[in-house]
C-alpha cells in the first residue's frame, strides 16, 4: 500500500483529498503546514507528497527547494495551487516536482497524477549531491552561496581562496547544474581527451587543491580552460595557498594568472566552527536518504564534539567522519564517546620512547622523524594537508622528509 502525504493549510481540502485517496486504497497522512510536513516526511517516508504552494509559514516551493538541496527529494512531489501561474509550475518542475494540479482538483486528474507519479517513483533516480542551498539557517553559508551565484552568473571560471578546512567541494557542488557531469581533475591521472569534455558538456570541472596537482593534471587543467565555452563547462578550483606558495610548489605561473582573473575568498571550517554541527547533521541526513548509511542521528553532545574538532581536511574529512560514525554506531543516536573514539588518535608508541641521551642534533632529528611520521599517518599521506599542518612549503617539506629517510609513497608524482 503506497503512503501519500497531503500537505495543505485548508482543512476542507485535506479531508476531501484524504477521503478520495483512502477510498482508492492508499495510506494517507495529513499535514497542515511546512513544519508538520517536515516532521511527517522524516517519520513516515511517504511514497508521494501532494504539496500545496501557498501556506502561511513556509510556501511549498521553498519547502520543495529545501528537500531538494538536502537530498530528501527522493519521493515524487505533486504541487497544488488555487491560483498558480505557468511560471510557478515551470519553477516547481525545474526544482523536481513531478506534476502540477490546479484547484479545484477534478477527481480523475487527481487520480491520474497520483498514478503517474507513483509509476515514476519506481524508476531509478540519480543521486543528488548536498549543496549550500540546504543550509537555510546558517547566515555565513547563505551569504557564501549568494556570492558564488553572483560570480558564476558572469564567469565560467572561479578560483576559491580558501581558509583552513576547505569547503571547496561543497561550493562547487552548489554551482553544478542539476543532472550534469562532475569531473574532478585531482582524480584524473591520464591526459584529458576531447571525448571526456564532450561527455561532460554542461557540467562542472573541479580541483580541490591546486598545489596537489601534478604536471600532467596542470596540463589537463589548461586544456579544459581553453574549451569551457565550447562545451558549456564551468570550472571551480581552490587552494589554501597564495600565489607565492603555489609557485614554490611548482605550479605553472602563467596558468595561475589565468585562473586568478576571477577569485573569491571562501571561509574554511576553522572559520565556521559554529556551523559545523549544522553541516554534519545535513551530511548525515543526506547519507541516510541516499541509503549509504542506516538511520542514525547525532546527539547534541556529539554535534558539539564535532564542532570542537580541527578539520584540517575540510568538508571531505568531515563527511568521511560522519559516514564512519553512522556505519559504526550500534544505536540510532550517535554518542559523543563515539566521536572521541573515532577522532582521537592513540598515542604513538615511538613518541613514548623518544631518546633523551643523544647529542642535541641527533635528538632533534629523532624528534622530527617521530613528529612527521605521526602527522603523515594522521593525514593519510596527504602532502597538502601535512604541509598546512606543519607550516612548511611543499618543496621544503619534501626535502625535509627525504633527509629524514621518511617515504611519502608518491615517488612517481612530478614536482
Given 247, 270, 293, the domain boundary residue is: 270
Q: Model-level pTM greater than 0.85?
A: no
What value does the mean pLDDT of the chain take?
89
Q: And the C-alpha cell for 154? A: 558572469
- What does the pLDDT look like over 86-138, one tens digit per residue? 888 888 888 889 999 999 999 999 999 999 999 887 665 566 789 998 888 88
Shared domain check, 64 and 41: yes
Would residue 386 count as lying in a domain?
Answer: yes
Each residue's pLDDT tens digit, 131-142: 998 888 889 999
| Contact in structure between 204 and 234 (CB atoms under 8 Å) | yes
Quick check: is 74 in a domain? yes
Average pLDDT of span 384-408: 85
Once rounded to an integer, what is the mean pLDDT over residues 237-251? 89
Q: Has residue 185 been placed in a domain?
A: yes
Query: Is position 410 within any domain?
Result: no
8 Å CB contact between 167 and 268: yes
Which of 326, 343, 360 lies at the terminal end of a domain, its last residue? 343
CATH number at residue 250: 3.40.50.300
Residue at 372 is within a domain: yes
Residues 196 and 299 in one domain: no
Q: Please name the residue that has the C-alpha cell 513556509.
A: 58
Residue where a domain terminates, one of 343, 372, 388: 343
Q: pLDDT at residue 391 above 90?
A: no
CATH of the domain at 322: 1.10.8.60
Q: Are residues 137 and 262 in the same domain?
A: yes
Residue-level pLDDT at 87: 83
By the 8 A CB rule, do 88 and 67 touch?
A: no
Task: Please write the tens of the pLDDT for every residue from 63-77.
Answer: 998 888 888 888 999
pLDDT by residue (tens digit) across 309-354? 989 889 999 999 999 999 999 999 999 999 999 987 655 554 455 6
Name the H helices within 70-106. Answer: 86-95
Residue 188 pLDDT? 87
Distance CA 398, CA 412 (A): 13
Tell how strand 234-239 and strand 48-52 pair up: unpaired
Lowest-confidence segment of 13-27, 44-58, 247-261, 350-364 by average pLDDT: 350-364
* 233 domain residue, yes or no: yes
> DSSP 3-state assignment of 102?
strand
If asked whether residues 288 and 331 sit together in one domain, one would say yes
Whether 356 and 316 share a structural domain: no
More confident residue, 32 or 57: 32
Q: What is the dihedral of CA 319, 160, 195, 213, to 10 degrees?
A: -80
DSSP 163: -
Q: Please enumerate in sequence order all residues whose Cβ is within 8 A of that of 279, keeping only pairs 6 or more positions apart, or say none.
A: 135, 138, 141, 269, 272, 315, 318
Rounded (10°) CA dihedral 116, 117, 120, 122: -110
Say if residue 166 is in the same domain as residue 265: yes
C-alpha torsion sign, points 33, 34, 36, 40: positive
What is the per-residue pLDDT for 147?
A: 96
Same-domain status, 368 and 277: no
- Same structural domain for residues 185 and 304? no
pLDDT digits (tens, 9 = 90+) for 258-300: 999 999 999 999 899 999 999 999 999 999 988 899 999 999 9
Asked whether residue 137 falls in the same domain as residue 242, the answer is yes
Classify residue 414: in a domain, yes or no.
Answer: no
**Beta-bridge partners for 139:** none
Instruction: Label residue 74 left, alpha or beta by phi (over 0 means left) and psi (-120 to 50 means alpha).
Output: alpha
Q: CA 335 to CA 329: how far, in whole Å?
A: 8
For residue 10, is pLDDT > 70? Answer: yes
* CB environment 73-98: b (16+ within 10 A), e (fewer): bbbbbbbbbeebeeebbebbeebbbb
249 or 303, greater pLDDT: 303
**pLDDT for res 125:** 54
Judge whether 175 and 182 are in contact, CB under 8 Å: no
Residue 4 has pLDDT above 90, yes or no: yes
CB 13 within 8 Å of CB 32: no
Q: Is residue 98 part of a domain?
A: yes
The count of domains in the chain is 4
Q: Are residues 109 and 40 in the same domain?
A: yes
pLDDT of the residue at 414: 39
303 Cβ neighbours under 8 A, 6+ residues apart = 276, 277, 280, 281
Does one domain contain both 172 and 254?
A: yes
37: pLDDT strictly greater than 90: yes
Phi, psi of 185 (to 5 degrees): -65, -25
Residue 226 has pLDDT above 70, yes or no: yes
Are residues 164 and 246 part of one domain? yes
C-beta of residue 199 within 8 angstroms of C-beta of residue 227: no
Domain interval for residue 38: 3-121
Q: Which three cell numbers stand for residue 165?
A: 578546512
Q: C-alpha grid cell for residue 185? A: 581533475
**Strand extents, DSSP E, 201-279:** 204-207, 234-239, 263-266
Alpha helix (H) ranges present in 58-162? Answer: 60-69, 86-95, 107-121, 139-152
**Residue 84 pLDDT greater than 80, yes or no:** no
Amino acid at each position: 500500500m503506497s503512503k501519500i502525504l497531503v500537505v495543505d493549510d485548508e482543512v476542507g481540502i485535506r479531508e476531501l483529498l484524504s477521503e478520495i485517496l483512502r477510498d482508492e486504497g492508499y495510506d494517507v497522512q495529513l499535514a497542515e503546514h511546512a513544519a508538520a510536513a517536515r516532521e511527517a516526511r522524516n517519520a513516515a517516508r511517504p511514497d508521494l507528497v501532494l504539496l500545496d504552494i501557498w501556506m502561511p509559514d513556509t510556501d511549498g516551493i521553498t519547502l520543495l527547494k529545501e528537500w531538494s538541496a538536502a537530498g530528501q527529494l527522493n519521493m515524487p512531489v505533486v504541487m497544488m495551487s488555487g491560483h498558480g501561474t505557468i511560471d510557478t509550475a515551470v519553477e516547481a518542475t525545474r526544482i523536481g516536482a513531478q506534476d502540477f494540479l490546479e484547484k479545484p482538483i477534478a477527481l480523475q486528474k487527481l487520480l491520474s497524477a497520483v498514478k503517474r507519479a507513483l509509476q515514476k517513483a519506481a524508476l531509478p533516480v540519480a543521486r543528488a549531491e548536498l549543496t549550500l542551498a540546504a543550509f537555510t539557517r546558517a547566515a555565513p553559508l547563505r551569504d557564501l552561496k549568494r556570492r558564488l551565484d553572483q560570480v558564476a552568473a558572469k564567469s565560467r571560471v572561479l578560483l576559491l581562496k580558501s581558509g583552513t578546512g576547505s569547503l571547496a567541494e561543497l561550493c562547487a557542488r552548489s554551482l553544478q547544474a542539476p543532472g550534469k557531469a562532475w569531473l574532478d581533475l585531482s582524480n584524473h591521472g591520464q591526459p584529458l581527451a576531447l571525448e571526456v569534455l564532450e561527455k561532460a558538456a554542461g557540467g562542472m570541472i573541479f580541483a580541490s587543491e591546486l598545489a596537489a596537482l601534478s604536471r600532467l593534471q596542470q596540463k589537463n587543467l589548461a586544456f579544459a580552460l581553453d574549451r569551457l565555452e565550447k562545451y558549456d563547462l564551468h570550472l571551480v578550483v581552490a587552494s589554501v595557498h597564495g600565489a607565492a606558495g603555489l609557485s614554490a610548489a611548482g605550479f605553472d605561473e602563467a596558468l595561475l594568472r589565468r585562473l586568478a582573473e576571477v577569485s573569491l575568498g571562501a571561509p574554511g571550517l576553522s572559520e565556521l566552527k559554529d556551523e559545523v554541527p549544522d553541516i554534519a547533521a545535513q551530511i548525515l541526513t543526506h547519507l541516510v536518504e541516499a541509503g549509504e548509511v542506516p538511520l542514525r542521528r547525532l546527539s547534541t553532545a556529539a554535534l558539539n564534539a564535532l564542532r570542537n574538532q580541527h578539520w584540517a581536511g575540510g568538508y571531505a574529512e568531515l563527511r568521511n567522519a560522519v559516514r564512519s560514525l553512522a556505519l559504526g554506531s550500534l544505536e540510532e543516536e550517535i554518542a559523543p564517546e563515539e566521536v572521541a573514539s573515532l577522532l582521537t588518535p592513540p598515542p604513538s608508541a615511538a613518541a613514548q620512547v623518544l631518546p633523551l641521551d643523544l647529542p642535541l642534533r641527533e635528538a632533534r632529528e629523532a624528534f622530527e622523524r617521530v613528529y612527521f611520521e605521526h602527522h603523515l599517518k594522521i593525514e593519510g599521506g596527504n602532502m597538502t594537508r601535512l604541509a598546512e599542518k606543519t607550516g612548511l612549503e611543499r618543496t621544503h617539506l619534501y626535502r625535509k622528509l627525504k633527509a629524514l629517510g621518511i617515504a611519502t609513497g608518491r615517488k612517481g608524482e612530478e614536482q
